[in-house]
Amino acid sequence: MKQPSRCFFLAAHRLLACVLAVAATAPARADLYVVVHADNPSRSMTQKEVLDLYMGRSRVFAHGDVALPFDLPRDSSGRERFYQALAGMGLSQVNSYWSRLMFTGQSMPPLPLPGEAEMLAIVRRNPNAIGYVATEPADRGIRTVLVLREPR
């Protein structure tokens, strides 16, 4: 019986190393949490309801109260992840969409905040606020109404 050559083992080793390198650099899937104030009557929301609020197609929660959507900074990676998971859109598409709407005077985009800590703080203070964060909030003053799964 013929033994596998040294060349075979080297090729197999290189292939395994390449597979492991790709797996290690692939981004991990994460969840994004859409949050509201704990006193907000909304117990849960659909992806379409959140999409409509964040794309200016709706200005109210399903129960009728005015919604105040808050966003992360225009070019932040957290904002990019959110819109990719919510709408399948990249930042350039989202920014272009809002530029068109603002130019025509139809609507204004969600107010950007400096980061997730500020997002949680404003949602904690305002029953009409809605925001999103990358870590599930443990704060009793905040309720998660939708969990978005990031696409692979």
Domain boundaries, the chain: 31-149
The pLDDT of residue 112 is above 90: yes
Q: In the prediction, which pLDDT does 114 show?
A: 97
What is the dotted CATH code of the domain comprising 31-149?
3.40.190.10
The pLDDT of residue 134 is above 90: yes
Angle between helix axes 91-104 and 77-87 (nearest 10 degrees) is 80
- What is the pTM (predicted TM-score) of this model? 0.79
- Higher local confidence (pLDDT), 145 or 106: 145
Contact assessment for residue 86 and residue 49, using Cβ atoms and an 8 Å cutoff: no
Phi-psi region of 81 (alpha: psi -120 to 50; beta: other; left: phi over 0): alpha
The pLDDT of residue 46 is above 60: yes
CB atoms within 10 A of CB 116: 18
Residue 34 binned pLDDT confidence (cut-offs 50, 70, 90):
very high
Q: In the prediction, which pLDDT does 59 show?
A: 95
Residues 23-33: what's their mean pLDDT? 62
